[in-house]
Amino acid sequence: MGNLTSSALGTCFDTDVNRTYKSGQLGFLQTTRKSQRGVSREIARVGDHADSTDAWGLQMACDAAHDDYVRCLAVLPRSNLIVSGGGDSVIRVWSAETGRLLREVENDSLRVFLVREDHNELLAGARDGSITVYDTKSWKVKTAFMDDSGSVFALAEHHYTLISGSDHIAIWTNPEWRPATDPTPGHTGMMEGRPSMGREVIRGQRGAPLPWGGVWRASHVIDEASRSLMVHDGKLYVGAIDRALKVYDLKTLECIETLVHHERCIWSMLVVNQFLVTGSADFTLGVWRFAKEDGEPALQLVASLGDHSGWIVQLLSYGNKLVTACLDGFVRVWDTHGDPVDWRRVKVIEVSENEENEVYSVAAIDNKLVTASSDGAIHVYFDARQQHEQRQSQ
């Protein structure tokens, strides 16, 4: 990684601004830059650990990536890009290699991203209920539509449909796709079930999913306020606002199971090593085993993991590790070898010395962890240990 140059958007500096970054590995590092807006718009390099075997040293940082909290991150590995969105109603696109700011796109205050890199698309769910589809080559809007139930907190895709979570769950279809005249066994189009508001069910054509341009509409609505969603093996898993974990059959849209373990709402969920992991506002992780045979409960709780002191708002799978982003200001890395009761925390990353700072999002790209937090900062941590192991195996 070479020396950084000024941002592609020309945000040269007029006034000196001291920046202090913290890492458990590096201690404190300080850089001085100038900006027309008084802030740096580059994720500046503050360390180099290519020859180290220490994991997660702070490599790049920008403590003013956004003018408000940074709620969500996305990565585009093929393009080597980091995308951030937050409370300042701007999406920013960064080079993961140099840290340069490449693009700014205006939107409402962002809540969630969904990447479809095979189709060069990024979907953004916002506080105003809008869902916008961007072309990740031009960063132009392909289409946008509105969920009228408030902020969009979660997005998931299932074949030809988009599922959004807000104060209800909406199933979105595109009427421009050629509808199948008759239901076909094994079809991959719209799920069956009664459509909402008297609208007909539009079935997508069979084959690979298409890019998501055109007009979208909510063909089904489930009256269930949610903060997290996940599709797995023909089922929709919902972190409901009433703290329950609910399982819906995607063919019938019926709730087939309701499980209550967490004391507060589930804000994140992820499949890790064939287990479903849930992160809650009760500061704990739940680890669930999927049903192995017909007639068994859809999920069975096998472990509950603590060690957090804030809401667990995002989960990330990184190799054989589970990474958690928490509102207590820390990112934790867990070794997920073996039985879930034996999973152990192997690393804690303190993102800021400010005790009031909250980590909202975490992403991984090319041996790096990227974090986004409530103070508007983006930090990039380098996994030198993994790179060292890869070199040793070559």
Report pLDDT for 177.
55
Report pLDDT for 47.
61
> Residues, the chain, total?
394
Report pLDDT for 54.
57
85-110 pLDDT, tens per residue? 989 999 999 999 999 999 999 998 89
Report pLDDT for 30.
27
Domains of the chain by residue range? 1-103+266-394, 107-260
Report pLDDT for 260.
96
Tell me the C-alpha distance between 48 and 60, whole Å: 9
The residues, any chain, with a CB within 8 Å of residue 208's CB and separated by 6 or more, are none
Nearest alpha carbon to residue 276 among 258, 306, 303, 244: 303
Report pLDDT for 20.
28
Report pLDDT for 23.
28
Out of 3.40.50.720, 2.130.10.10, 3.20.20.140, 3.40.50.11540, the CATH code matching 107-260 is 2.130.10.10
Report pLDDT for 2.
31
Q: Tell whether the torsion through CA atoms of 101, 107, 109 and 115 is positive or negative.
A: negative
Report pLDDT for 210.
60
Nearest alpha carbon to residue 282 among 260, 299, 302, 256: 260
Q: What is the pTM of this model?
A: 0.80
Tell me the C-alpha distance between 87 and 105, whole Å: 13
Q: Contact, 379 vs 45, CB < 8 A? A: no
Report pLDDT for 213.
74
Tell me the C-alpha distance between 100 and 258, whole Å: 46
Nearest alpha carbon to residue 126 among 90, 170, 156, 160: 90
Phi, psi (rounded to 5 degrees) for 390: -65, -40
Report pLDDT for 184.
28
pLDDT under 50 in the chain at which residues? Answer: 1-38, 49-52, 178-208
Report pLDDT for 44.
74
